[in-house]
């Protein structure tokens, strides 16, 4: 019960990866706070009625004021895990400025705003080395290896920004004992991805629970030293 009595935020907590992360956190004793924007996702979320899950509706993570209000409502935060984001795939010649801006907002801006507010909350409960807290961002393989981002330049740029945010904050916050890390998945083995890429070899894709295991370790008190890392979670892909 390594997370017992600890408050953990999970953005994107109702999705496939988010649900796997929430399940592991609940097994380890955490109270999980999930900002919800699209309430349609709740129909498939398996932890709706759990006594240690706090769902907060109508939170647009691109809205600075709403993000501040959400974190103020959580109070003392041990860990903040940022899974929420978006995907867009189109050739560069067909990528509009608005599509580029949307990817930067949904992936990079949400990561920044949530990380910033999490830091404020963590500093509110001591901030001494080894006590401050944990932040885990979700980048993507093209963000770590941009040459793999051909045909999805806006998405790749936004996830590369997540990598940069992670590494810069990891250095800045080290003295506070706030470890900032990220994972960079390849394509996850989810029903939606199988449907979108029906001819792919699903067996090489990492499973959401496998990626969740890495995320939860990085967010845990057991992670006593890793900071500023972007961990590839590619499976066999």
Supply the DSSP symbol for 106. Answer: I
The domain segmentation of the chain, as residue ranges, is 7-233
Distance CA 181, CA 232 (A): 11
The pair of structure tokens assigned to 171 is 């250095």
Per-residue pLDDT of the chain (237 residues; tens, 9 = 90+): 999 999 999 999 999 999 999 999 999 999 999 999 988 878 889 999 999 999 999 999 999 999 999 999 999 999 999 999 999 999 999 999 999 999 999 999 999 999 999 999 998 755 444 468 999 999 999 999 999 999 999 999 999 999 999 999 999 999 999 999 999 999 998 888 889 899 899 999 999 999 999 999 999 999 999 999 999 999 998
Residues 6+ apart with CB under 8 A from 193: 187, 200, 205
Instruction: Find out if CATH 1.20.1070.10 is the number for domain 7-233.
Output: no
- Going by their DSSP bridges, the two strands 133-138 and 79-82 should be labelled as parallel
Q: Beta-strand (E) ranges in 22-115?
A: 31-35, 53-56, 79-82
The pair of structure tokens assigned to 221 is 């008190």
- Cβ atoms 187, 205 nearer than 8 A: yes
Task: Give the H/E segment covering residue 172.
Answer: helix 153-172
């Amino acid at each position: 019960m390594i997370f017992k009595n600890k408050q953990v935020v999970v953005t994107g907590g109702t999705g496939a990866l988010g649900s796997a992360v929430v399940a592991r956190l609940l097994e380890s004793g955490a109270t999980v706070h999930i900002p919800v924007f699209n309430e349609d996702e709740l129909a498939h979320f398996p932890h709706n009625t759990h006594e240690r899950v706090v769902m907060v509706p109508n939170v647009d993570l691109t809205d600075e004021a709403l993000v501040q209000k959400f974190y103020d409502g959580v109070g003392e935060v041990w860990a903040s895990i940022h899974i929420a984001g978006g995907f867009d795939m189109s050739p560069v010649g067909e990528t509009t400025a608005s599509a580029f801006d949307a990817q930067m907002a949904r992936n990079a801006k949400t990561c920044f705003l949530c990380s910033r507010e999490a830091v404020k909350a963590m500093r509110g409960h001591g901030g001494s080395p080894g006590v401050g807290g944990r932040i885990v961002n979700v980048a993507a393989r093209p963000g770590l290896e941009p040459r793999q981002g051909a045909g999805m330049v806006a998405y790749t740029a936004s996830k590369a920004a997540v990598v940069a945010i992670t590494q810069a904050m990891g250095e800045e916050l080290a003295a506070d004992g706030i470890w900032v890390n990220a994972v960079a998945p390849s394509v996850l083995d989810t029903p939606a991805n199988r449907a979108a890429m029906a001819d792919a070899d699903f067996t090489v894709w990492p499973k959401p629970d496998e990626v969740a295991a890495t995320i939860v370790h990085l967010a845990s008190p057991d992670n006593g030293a890793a900071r500023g890392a972007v961990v590839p979670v590619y499976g066999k892909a």
